[in-house]
Amino acid sequence: MEAIKLLAGLGSPPLGRLVHYRALDTSFREIKIKPDPSCPLCGSSPTITAPVAYPEKSCDMNNGGLPEISTQDLKNILDSGFDGILLDVREQDEFFMAHIDGCQLLPLSGWPEAASNLPKDETYYVLCAAGMRSARAGMWMLDNGFEKVTNVAGGMKSWQQENP
């Protein structure tokens, strides 16, 4: 409630106080909080005087050198006669709901045992629902001697949006 009051510019915040609500008996208790003179933000000699600007970082799973393509690029590759393995690492129920024709199902839950039998000299495009599990699978493949592995960014969710 206090955050909503601040955002809406209503009322006054309980500065220097903590309001404790006990739902079992619908009671309130107010606790006064004394300022800490050694607090780096609000103490007598603050050392934090401005927000810190951190460099922007990407949230992708591509930090380990795993190549990545969009689902539109994958469609172009498949349309031009791809001669490799399109590997779907989703679970079987996900695969039956929707999949790309010609892909091979190898659920990530069966890894690494099942994946160790894959031929290492093939070209692989790995996909899942949104690109996270396939990135994990692709990194495992690169770490285990597979050389031509590419993650499909956005996975089936992106594929279905672009190819209704």
* pLDDT for 152: 93
Contact 33, 42 (CB under 8 A): no
The reply to whether 58 falls in a domain is no
29 and 73 inside one domain: no
Q: Rounded distance, CA 131 to CA 158, Å?
A: 9
* Domain ranges, residue 10: 1-53
Q: Is residue 145 part of a domain?
A: yes
- List, as one string, the DSSP characters of 26-94: TEEEEEE----TT-TTTSSS-S--S---PPP----SGGGS--EE-HHHHHHHHHT---SEEEE-S-HHH
Domain shared by 31 and 72, yes or no: no
Is 141 in the same domain as 100?
Answer: yes
Question: Same domain, yes or no, for 154 and 125?
Answer: yes
Do 41 and 113 lie in one domain? The reply is no
Are 46 and 69 in a shared domain?
no
The contacts of residue 24 (CB under 8 Å, 6+ apart) are none
Distance CA 12, CA 84 (A): 65
CATH no. for residue 140? Answer: 3.40.250.10
Instruction: List the one residue out of 104, 99, 100 whose CA is nearest residue 84.
Output: 104
**Tens place of pLDDT for every residue, the chain, 164 residues?**
778 888 888 888 888 888 888 999 999 898 988 888 888 888 888 888 887 776 654 444 444 689 999 999 999 999 998 889 999 999 999 999 999 999 999 999 988 888 888 999 999 999 999 989 999 999 999 999 998 999 999 999 999 988 76
One domain, residues 116 and 41:
no
| Residues 78 and 4 placed together within one structural domain of the fold | no
Q: How many CB atoms are located within 10 Å of the residue 123 CB?
A: 15
